[in-house]
Structure formats: structure tokens, C-alpha cells
């Protein structure tokens, strides 16, 4: 893939003020970035989305939301609807993060419904898949990921699938207690995802859906993932919450892209 996707999910971090400071600093320091080669995105919490939209108005950085309900509106206290996100003007909706599955019982059927709605609203669904520690321990990672894909992609047509981004995020690799996957292992799973997409759609479609890796990515290991042919980008949590740290990763990758 000729483009690298680099994005961050802020989870439940950053107030509106902190969002403004972060994005101003980010925008100020991207002058030499080749946006034809690097696609950046940030995924703040809901309360910061409006401010973030304003800060990113003239920038090449895409804006995402961390979740969304599949219904347009209704009696769903505490939920956020696609209409609300559409009004703000988000580009991406992250769906199925492992923390949503783990703490809020979100399942693959929910994620499938959300993906369909997101496509109807012209958002880019960023679908997260990945096995948990138990599946890895018992050697059933591939089965678990295929099951996730089969349900999440149910009734998603080829033309729709082309608009998606997929993040492979092994649960055991995420967060402070996580261990980053070995790049060769991550690539093996990316190849599995590609072959599922090829089986379901076709070779071209499968090749054109960006597959990004997430799970304890940092400045030291970022490039090791990106030198793998089937890894099209990185989804970064805590190593990107400090803007300087995110900028260091972005500039390192930009330099690599310029010289490769």
C-alpha cells in the first residue's frame, strides 16, 4: 500500500482545553509531512470532538469518534447517535475496541450493525479485531479472528468494504500490562485477515483495505512493524497521548517513507 495510516485513540483522556493545546501543537509541527504518503487521524473522547473539528478545519488530519450507536435516535441513555456525529463532521468511527467488548459487553453482532450504520452515514468504520490472551494460549487465535470477521462483515457488500479500515489489536498487547506483538506475528495475522477478505470479496478489494496494527506501539518499535509488507499503518494508544511523543513517531515514519 502506498500510504501509511497513523492514528491515536485517546480513550478516556483529555479535556476540551487539553484537546485544543494538543491539536494546536500537532498542527504546528507537521510542515514537512508528505500527506500523500501519511494519513493521520486522532480519536478524542466525545466531549472534545466539536473543539477538535474546529482545530482541524484546515488540516489534513482525520477526526474519529470512539464508538457510536447503530440507531439514528431513540431511548438509549448515555449513547451517541450517528446523527450527532454527522453534525460534528467526524470522518472515522472506531468500532469494536477490545475495551468496549470487555467492559461494555459489545459483541460482533453489535459491531456489524454499527458498521452498516456508519457506512450509511459515510463515515469510515475503523473495525478493531484481535484475539484475547486465552485464545493465544490455547492456539485458537486464528479461529477467533475469523469468527469476528465473519460476523462483522456479514451483509457488507464489496463496494462498502472498500471504505473500511481494519485494526488488528491483540488484547494481550494493549495497554500498560500489554506486550507488543512481534512484527512477524502481527504480519501473520494481517495475512490471515487479507485472505479472509480475498475469499469474501476478491484480491483487489482485499489489497486495498488498509490493515493497521495496534498494541503497545512506541517510538522504538514503530518502524519494525511498518517494514512488513502487510502492515499498512499503526494505531497508537498511550505512546501518542503526549503530543511530542506522537510527533516523534510521525517524523520518524515520514523520514522512512521519504527514503524508501
* Residues at the site binding ligand PEP, with contacts judged by CB under 6 A: 9, 97, 169, 174-175, 178, 214-217, 235-239
User: Closest separation between CB of residue 234 and ligand PEP, Å?
Assistant: 9
Over 49-77, what HEC string results? HHHHHHHCCCCCCEEEECCCCCCCCCCCC
User: Closest separation between CB of residue 81 and ligand PEP, Å?
Assistant: 23
- Cβ proximity to ligand PEP, 193 vs 217, nearer residue: 217
- Cβ proximity to ligand PEP, 48 vs 81, nearer residue: 48
Q: Is 190 labeled as catalytic in the residue annotation?
A: no
- Cβ proximity to ligand PEP, 26 vs 167, nearer residue: 167
User: Closest separation between CB of residue 174 and ligand PEP, Å?
Assistant: 4
Instruction: Please report the DSSP string for 118-176 in residue order.
Output: HHHTT-EEEEEE---HHHHHTT-HHHHHHHHHHHHTTT--HHHHTT-EEEE--GGGSST
User: Closest separation between CB of residue 11 and ligand PEP, Å?
Assistant: 7
Q: Is 142 labeled as catalytic in the residue annotation?
A: no
Query: Half-sphere exposure (CA, 13 Å, Cβ side) for 214?
Result: 30
Of all residues in the shown chain, the one whose CB is closest to ligand PEP is 237
Q: Could you give the CA distance from residue 171 to residue 174 in angstroms, rounded to a whole number?
A: 5
User: Closest separation between CB of residue 75 and ligand PEP, Å?
Assistant: 30
CB 128 within 8 A of CB 171: no
- Cβ proximity to ligand PEP, 206 vs 249, nearer residue: 249
- Cβ proximity to ligand PEP, 206 vs 215, nearer residue: 215
Secondary structure (3-state) at 44 = coil
- Residue 51: closest CA among 72, 24, 28: 24
- Residue 25: closest CA among 257, 253, 248, 254: 248
- Of the candidates 131, 169, 187, 190, the residue annotated as catalytic is 169
- Of the candidates 97, 99, 106, 131, the residue annotated as catalytic is 97
Tell me the catalytic residues.
97, 169
Amino acid at each position: 500500500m502506498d500510504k501509511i495510516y497513523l492514528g491515536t485513540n485517546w480513550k478516556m483522556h483529555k479535556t476540551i482545553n487539553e484537546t485544543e493545546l494538543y491539536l494546536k501543537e500537532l498542527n504546528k509541527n507537521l510542515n514537512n509531512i508528505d500527506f500523500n504518503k501519511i494519513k493521520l487521524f486522532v480519536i478524542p473522547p466525545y466531549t472534545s470532538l466539536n473543539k477538535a473539528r474546529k482545530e482541524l478545519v484546515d488540516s489534513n488530519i482525520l477526526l474519529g469518534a470512539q464508538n457510536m450507536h447503530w440507531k439514528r435516535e431513540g431511548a438509549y441513555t448515555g449513547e451517541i447517535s450517528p446523527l450527532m456525529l454527522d453534525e460534528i463532521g467526524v470522518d472515522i468511527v472506531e468500532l469494536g475496541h477490545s475495551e468496549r467488548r470487555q467492559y461494555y459487553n459489545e459483541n460482533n453482532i453489535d459491531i456489524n450493525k454499527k458498521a452498516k450504520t456508519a457506512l450509511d452515514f459515510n463515515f469510515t468504520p475503523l473495525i478493531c479485531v484481535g484475539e484475547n490472551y486465552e485464545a493465544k494460549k490455547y492456539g485458537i487465535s486464528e479461529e477467533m479472528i475469523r469468527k469476528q470477521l465473519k460476523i462483522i462483515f456479514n451483509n457488507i457488500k464489496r463496494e462498502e468494504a472498500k471504505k473500511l479500515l481494519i485494526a488488528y489489536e491483540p488484547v494481550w498487547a494493549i495497554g500498560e500490562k500489554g506486550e507488543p506483538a512481534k512484527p512477524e506475528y502481527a504480519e501473520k495475522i494481517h495475512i490471515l485477515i487479507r485472505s479472509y477478505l480475498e475469499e469474501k470479496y476478491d484480491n483487489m478489494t482485499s489489497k486495498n483495505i488498509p490493515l493497521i496494527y495496534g498494541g503497545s506501539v512506541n517510538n522504538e518499535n514503530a518502524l519494525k512493524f511498518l517494514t512488513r509488507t502487510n502492515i499498512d499503518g499503526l494505531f497508537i494508544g498511550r505512546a501518542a497521548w503526549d503530543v511530542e511523543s506522537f510527533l516523534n513517531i510521525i517524523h520518524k515514519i515520514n523520514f522512512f517513507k521519504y527514503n524508501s
